[in-house]
Amino acid sequence: MAIHVDEAHQLFHLQTATTSYIFQVLANGQLGQLYYGSQVHVRPEYANLTKRELKNSMPAYALDQPTYQLDAIKQEYAAFGTGDYHRPAYQVTQTNGSRITDFIYDHYEVKQGKQRLTGFPSTFDDSGDDVETLVIYLHDEVTKLEIALNYTVFPNQDVIVRSATFLNHGTDAVTLNSALSGQLDLPDADYDMVQFSGGWARERHLIRTHLRSGIQAIDSVRGSSSPQQNPFMMLARPETTEDAGGVFGFNLVYSGNFLDQVEVDHYDTTRVLVGINPETFAWQLMPDKSFQTPECVFSYTANGMNQLSQQLATFYSEHLVNSQYVKKERPILVNNWEATYFDFDEEKLLKIVRKAKELGIEMFVLDDGWFGHRDDDHTSLGDWFVDHSKLPNGIGDFAGKVHHLGLQFGLWFEPEMISIDSELYRTHPEWVIHAPDRRMTPGRNQYVLDFSRQEVVDYLYDMMSKVMADTKLDYVKWDMNRYITELFSCSLPVDQQLELPHRYILGVYQLYERLTKAFPDVLFESCASGGGRFDLWMMYYAPQAWTSDDTDAVERIKIQYGTSYGYPQSMMGAHVSVSPNEQIGRYTPLETRANVAFFGAFGYELDISKLSVADSATIQHQVAFYKAHRSVFQFGKLYRITSPFEKDHNVMSWIAVDETKSHAIAVRYQILNRPNAPYLRLKLKGLDPDKQYRVNEGQRTYYGDELMNAGLFLDHNFDGTAGSRKDADFSSRLFLVDEV
Ligand code: GLA
């Protein structure tokens, strides 16, 4: 049993395999948070956790309850304006302008399992995995609003999923000014906030800072979750490492504007809020209507960050990814973007396809430029019909040729966008998001379609499904290459304009929902100028995401390492590209480029029709090697060993271990070489201490405990024979660890 309710004390104790989450109805009928952390025994009450003392100069709840001071009591879903001065979890404006509400506990319900939310990506429980859901109903007497707080406990992965549903049982409309998904009040502030920040081509770099007094937050107002800040965040004790110590993980199942906020108050207590960013949100809640927030994921472990990442990765594959590809090995692809950009014709592409077949590659992906008359990025978005000057016999015919040559076929779309130079814009200029009588701000020479309009979603569905059927498509790369500006919809009334960002993203999901239902066998990869929408709501439909437009192996070391904290490696699209690299001009060995890309959904993104004989042989070998070890690379349990964000940022290493601990692959990347370097040992992780292993098929065997505790001795030295130098700038070494 995961949910324990003590009715006499109105106390709710949610238990996972190793954690406890406890809250209680307070004397004023609101909910108070008591505890979240390592598991504690179930008891009827926790008097020790509810002790209070009088705090000077703070409002009290009532004259006869001087110690009942909301500002000093940890809340479960905090209200605005009645004595708690921390930022609230929600705020409602009534028709008279008042923003004061008083939501009081009404009743609760416990349900087996977890239903999916309708029309909304969400977690689910299809496997009868001991999952239980608790719903707490609160009501406000004056407005007749109800809030249902939904908690689902996933015991096996130590995850609790929260959301809130607002229902208007009154006769007046109200405005939700904010409606966050989850809140966690913690009793102290001795935590480091770990965030994953960056920008285009340098996404999800780890930043770890100790909490300070006041508000610290990461968020997005760009219309997408953004490469600048990722919605995944951790709070870790200062002493917490990869392998030990307490750490909370928070994420939001959402792709729009988000807020992850941490507020430390004057008593060193901490409030975490996660949800839709109130900055660009308001929602008219009419009588008899409801508003559902997206879900947020809370997870805790006392055993360090590797454990947290692993339990989250398992959780997503069991309870979030909706695609049949979640546990299926992903095809090795070649993408023509960095090979040809817009400059291609059928013969050029077929040369790549034929070569791909020879190399053992399994899928060809035709990127941007196959539609309208798109020879550069100024034109044709919205016109999802083939450019006959490039593919004279049509896209279906071309796909047939690719299939005939024995490869799967994938295609690039950017459904949410429109170019001024397009038939779509000439027909429907009003479909662009723009403000009346104002200039429109371009981004990559393009504009954003108003996905809050049903006719826009319908148009895209018709266009895309025609192409998908015509090509018998195997894979879609769904791109999104600019942020939203001039946030205004010509189809929404005055008082609903702030609904646009959320309605936009609901439109995007409607299109995803319809396409994935109509084409269940198609593998979707999401993309937003690389990793600009690398989030859980996308993951629900698209089990892969293009991790970054930066394909340089050295840059990717940090990007993929940072990404691995919150997302499994099977989600990370990772390709070998040309050297010198197109984004950064760096020369790196082909071996290192592959050793970096192996730990993800692997592919190539260079003109393979122009390879030297030697590179061709190397790639053929890499493809065969990846196929032999694909399941460990994509689905092995990942243990981070050496962080490229620590010390001199020069080394990264990690290891992926299969379920039975009989096969593992470790890697060590080195950025710059150092002369006369100290001895080097790589301490592996995740092995069975009692099993014996061989490394790289060598003669010697080692116990797992030896490899983990003493480590593997790594020889720096050049032994005099050609090609024997093990270390150089941008070098890497892979270690196959196999049970004997
Ligand atoms: C974005 C993507 C790239 C490529 C181009 C095509 O930048 O991230 O991978 O598809 O668009 O225009």
| 549 tagged catalytic | yes
- Quote the CA–CA distance of 334 and 165 in Å, as a whole number: 44
The pair of structure tokens assigned to 698 is 């060598």
pLDDT confidence of residue 52: 86
Mutate to test the pocket of ligand 1, among 338, 342, 344, 367 (most ligand atoms within 8 A of CB): 367
> 682 or 27: whose pLDDT is higher?
682
Residue 37, H or E segment: strand 31-38
Mutate to test the pocket of ligand 1, among 224, 344, 479 (most ligand atoms within 8 A of CB): 479
Using one digit for the tens of pLDDT, what is the confidence trace for 532-558? 999 999 999 999 999 999 999 999 999
Q: Could you give the dihedral angle defined by the CA atoms of residues 291, 296, 298 and 304, in that order, rounded to the nearest 10 degrees? A: -170
State in Å: Cα 324 to ligand 1 middle: 25
Parallel, antiparallel, or unpaired: how do β-strands 523-526 and 475-478 relate?
parallel
State in Å: Cα 540 to ligand 1 middle: 21
The pLDDT of 250-275, averaged and rounded, is 98
Angle (CA) 208-309-5 rounded to 5° is 105
Using one digit for the tens of pLDDT, what is the confidence trace for 614-661? 999 999 999 999 999 999 999 999 999 999 999 999 999 999 999 999
CA-nearest residue, atom 6 of ligand 1: 368
Evaluate if residue 262 carries a pLDDT over 90.
Answer: yes
Evaluate if residue 163 carries a pLDDT over 70.
Answer: yes
Phi and psi based region of residue 25 (left: phi greater than 0; alpha: psi -120 to 50; beta: remaining): beta
- Quote the CA–CA distance of 372 and 383 in Å, as a whole number: 5
pLDDT confidence of residue 1: 83
- Quote the CA–CA distance of 496 and 498 in Å, as a whole number: 5
| 172 tagged catalytic | no
State in Å: Cα 530 to ligand 1 middle: 7
Evaluate if residue 721 carries a pLDDT over 60.
Answer: no
Amino acid at 131: V
Q: Which candidate in 140, 158, 219, 479 is catalytic? A: 479
In this structure, are residues 231 and 252 in contact, taking their beta carbons and an 8 Å threshold? yes
Using one digit for the tens of pLDDT, what is the confidence trace for 584-593? 999 999 999 9
pLDDT confidence of residue 139: 98
Amino acid at 524: F
pLDDT confidence of residue 709: 98
- Quote the CA–CA distance of 542 and 154 in Å, as a whole number: 22
- Quote the CA–CA distance of 338 and 255 in Å, as a whole number: 27
Query: What angle in degrees, to the nearest 10, is found between the helix axes of 346-359 and 394-404?
Result: 20
Parallel, antiparallel, or unpaired: how do β-strands 333-335 and 601-605 relate?
parallel
Residue 170's closest CA among 139, 147, 143, 146? Answer: 143
Report the percentage of the chain scoring pLDDT > 70: 99
Q: How many C-beta neighbours within 10 Å does residue 189 have?
A: 19
State in Å: Cα 694 to ligand 1 middle: 42
In this structure, are residues 139 and 149 in contact, taking their beta carbons and an 8 Å threshold? no
pLDDT confidence of residue 725: 61
Mutate to test the pocket of ligand 1, among 417, 478, 481, 551 (most ligand atoms within 8 A of CB): 481
Q: Which candidate in 158, 549, 550, 727 is catalytic? A: 549
Report the percentage of the chain scoring pLDDT > 90: 94
Q: Could you give the dihedral angle defined by the CA atoms of residues 362, 367, 371 and 373, in that order, rounded to the nearest 10 degrees? A: -140
Evaluate if residue 716 carries a pLDDT over 80.
Answer: no
Evaluate if residue 724 carries a pLDDT over 80.
Answer: no
Phi and psi based region of residue 704 (left: phi greater than 0; alpha: psi -120 to 50; beta: remaining): alpha
The pLDDT of 405-432, averaged and rounded, is 98
In this structure, are residues 169 and 157 in contact, taking their beta carbons and an 8 Å threshold? no
> What's the start-to-end Cα distance of the chain, in Å?
41
Give the up-direction half-sphere exposure of residue 553: CA atoms within 13 A in the CB hemisphere. Answer: 31
State in Å: Cα 337 to ligand 1 middle: 7
